[in-house]
Structure 1
Amino acid sequence: MDILIVGAGVVGAGVVESLANAPSIPVGRVAIVDRNPHQAWQLSEKYGLPVTIGSLDDSADVVVLATASGSQARLARRFLSRGRVILSTSDSVADVRRLLDMHGAAQRQDALVVAGVGMAPGLTDVLAVRAAAEFDRVTEVHVAKFGTGGPACARQHHKALSSLALEWRSGWKQRPGGSGRELCWFPSPVDASDCYRAALPDPMLLARKFNGANRITARMAATRRDRFSSWLPMLRPPHPEGKLGAVRVEIRGQKGQKWTGRILGASAPPGNVTAAVLVSAIELFAAEKLRQIGAMGLAEVVDAAEFLDALEGQKIVCEEFSGA
């Protein structure tokens, strides 16, 4: 199985490292493309065969888009005729909307475009499906995330905080970014953090799985300085590799005659989580468990239990809040 990775940053490097050390995945060739050829060469020299330098004209069984959010829909369209499976990590609302709009084109090309294959969206969508398995009826889905994966991710989050947030409240609503403060508890060691509305694509993807829910929201952790400076250029350079991160998903609904809720989450550096999510998706594809064609979200193409088992093999452990 040939794999093309577009982007040799934090996420791309993590995927290369995992694939180079993943005996369960039948890797033929791993080709890397990056705007900075030196980064791609560094990865190629570090891991050697089957990791090589590629180009955007390469054909591959799987194409991983690990570039900055906002440009991945254009790249995905370019690979439709050549990539059997295209995995996008973008957390841009516009990107995800354009990717989902490729459904007809992907079907005609017998291809699969998967939007939001990352920590959030991505892992959060699968956790929501897993949490909802015990419910007879789901009325609310709430997602929150903490941390960024690298410079490009940090810039996207900065932009999202000053943009209109999309929410489902028995219909689509737009809310100001940076509003709706809520104290959210994440798995340790992150623990409590104030979270706010932002331009996040999670509700768009979750609404496809939970079309009977009354409310679907997404928030991201931010400080007062983040909120007040979100309309300005970033005041300081972002961390080159990202720091601690976490996600939490809260499901509310009905189980029998009882109204109840369930909270699942995970805590790890966002770049590591995104790389693990991508490799887990590739592993399921290699096992012929991704048979769909078209354009859809990660939770629509994987079995939640199987995916979380594969993710645990990548050393990302999910937790449930017990209320203790």
Structure 2
Amino acid sequence: MDVLVVGAGVVGAGVVQRLVSSPLLPMVRVAVLDRNPDRAQHLSDQYGPLVRVGSFESRADVVVLATAAGSQARLAHRIVDSAGLVLSTSDSVSDVRQMLAMNDLARQRMSLVVVGAGLAPGITDVLVARAAMGFDRVVEIHVAKFGTGGPSCARQHHKALSSRALEWRGGWKQRPGGSGRELCWFPSPVDAADCYRAALPDPLLLVRRFADVDRITARMAATRRDRFSSWLPMLRRPHPEGKLGAVRVEVRGRRGAAWAGRILGAAAPPGVATAAVIMSVVELHAVGKLDGVGAMGLAEIVDACEFLDVLERNGIICELFAGF
């Protein structure tokens, strides 16, 4: 299997490390491409003959887009003709919209474009699918995320907090970013954090899977300083790698005549979690377990229970909130 990793930052380097060390993919050949050639060369030097510097003309069965959010839709259009599986890690609303609009093109090319293969969207979508099992009808879905991966991710979150948030309430509604403060409990060691509306793409993907749901919301954790400075340029340089990260999803609905709810979550550094998601998808692809052609979200192409089992093997454990 030939894998091209586009982007050699926190996520890209993590994906490369997992690919070359996986006992389940002994025949994988990895190429790395980055706009900074030195970063790609550094990974090639680090892993020797297992990793080489690639190009967009490199033959690849799988392409992983690990570049900055906002650029991945353009890259996906460029490589969809030559790759059977394209994995996007972007959490940009514009990226997600444009890649979902590629569905017909991807189907014509017999390619699968996985939109949102990261911590959120990605793990969040699969957790919602898992939490919804056992409900006769899902009425509400609420997603929250904490933390950022690398500098590009931090810049995207800063931008998202000042942009219009999308919510589904039987139709699309827009809300001001930074509004709707809500205290959310995440798995330890994150625990409680104030979360606010932001321009997050999770509702765009979840409404495809749960078309009859009444309400879908998405929030991100932020401090008061984050909220009030989101309209300004970032006041300090982003940390080179996020240390804490977590997601939680809450599903509410009916079981028979009774109302019920379920909360699932996961905690891991965002860059680590995204690399684990990519690795899990590639492993399932290698054994023919991905189902679909076109452009779609992760929860649309995997069995939720099976994927979470593979994800746990890759180091990300999902938890059920059981109350106090």
- In 1, are the aligned partners of 2:170 and 2:214 still within 8 Å (CA)? yes
Q: Tell me what 1:162 maps to.
A: 162
- Assess if the C-alpha contact under 8 Å between 2:248 and 2:264 holds in 1: yes
1:174, distance to aligned residue in structure 2 (A): 0.2
Report how many residues are paired.
Answer: 324
Look up the SS of the partner of 1:48 in the other structure: helix
Q: Counterpart of 1:58?
A: 58
1:120-140 per-residue CA deviation (whole Å, 9 max, x = no partner) reads 000000000001011111000
Deviation at 1:26, TM superposition (A): 4.4
Report the secondary structure of 1:254's partner residue.
Answer: strand
Where does 1:127-142 land on structure 2 (aligned, <5 Å)? 127-142=127-142
Deviation track 1:166-200 (CA, whole Å, cap 9, x = no partner) reads 00011100000000000000001100000000000
1:15 aligned residue: 15
> 1:105 aligns to what?
105
Taking the TM superposition and a 5 Å limit, the aligned residue runs for 1:192-271 are: 192-271=192-271
Matches within 5 A, 1:75-94: 75-94=75-94
Q: In structure 1, how many angstroms separate the alpha carbons of the residues matched to 2:53 and 2:134?
A: 46
Q: Distance in 2 between matches of 1:88 and 1:51?
A: 21
Tell me how far apart the structure 2 counterparts of residues 141 and 25 of structure 1 sit (CA, whole Å): 36
Answer whether contact 1:121 1:202 (CA < 8 A) is retained. Answer: yes
Moved more, 89-98 or 24-33: 24-33
Output the amino acid matched with 1:178: G
Counterpart check, 1:120 vs 2:135: no
Q: Is the contact made by 2:20 and 2:28 (CA closer than 8 Å) also made in structure 1? A: no
Whole-angstrom CA distance in 2 between matches of 1:268 and 1:317 = 9
The 2-side partners of 1:103 and 1:85 are apart by 13
Residue 184 of structure 1 corresponds to 184
SS at structure 1 position matched to 2:5: strand
After TM superposition, give the deviation of residue 222 of structure 1 in Å. Answer: 0.3
Q: Is the 8 A contact 2:19 2:28 kept in 1?
A: no
Give me the whole-angstrom Cα distance separating, in 2, the residues matched to 1:26 and 1:254.
46
- 1:215-267 CA-to-partner distances (Å, cap 9, x unmatched) read 00000000110011101100000000112000000000011221010000001
Residues 11-56 of structure 1, C-alpha deviation per residue, up to 9 Å, x if partnerless?
A: 0011011111111124431000001111111111111232111011
Alpha-carbon offset, residue 291 of structure 1: 3.5
Would the aligned equivalents of 2:3 and 2:64 in 1 still touch at CA under 8 Å? yes
- Does structure 2 conserve the Cα–Cα contact (< 8 Å) formed by 1:3 and 1:27? no
Tell whether the 8 Å contact from 1:31 to 1:52 is kept in structure 2 after alignment.
yes
Distance in 2 of aligned mates of 1:261 and 1:248: 13
Counterpart residue identity of residue 265, structure 1 = G
Partner of 1:294: 294
Task: Give % identity.
Answer: 69
TM-score, reference length from structure 1: 0.99
Query: What are the ranges of 5 or more consecutive residues in structure 2 without an aligned counterpart?
Result: none
2:3 matched residue in structure 1: 3
For the residues of structure 1 that align with 2:49 and 2:314, how far apart are their CA atoms? 22
The answer as to whether partners of 2:181 and 2:194 remain within 8 angstroms in 1 is yes
The list of structure 1 runs, each at least 4 consecutive aligned residues, that deviate by more than 3 angstroms after superposition, is none
Distance in 2, matches of 1:146 and 1:285, equals 29
TM-score by length of 2: 0.99
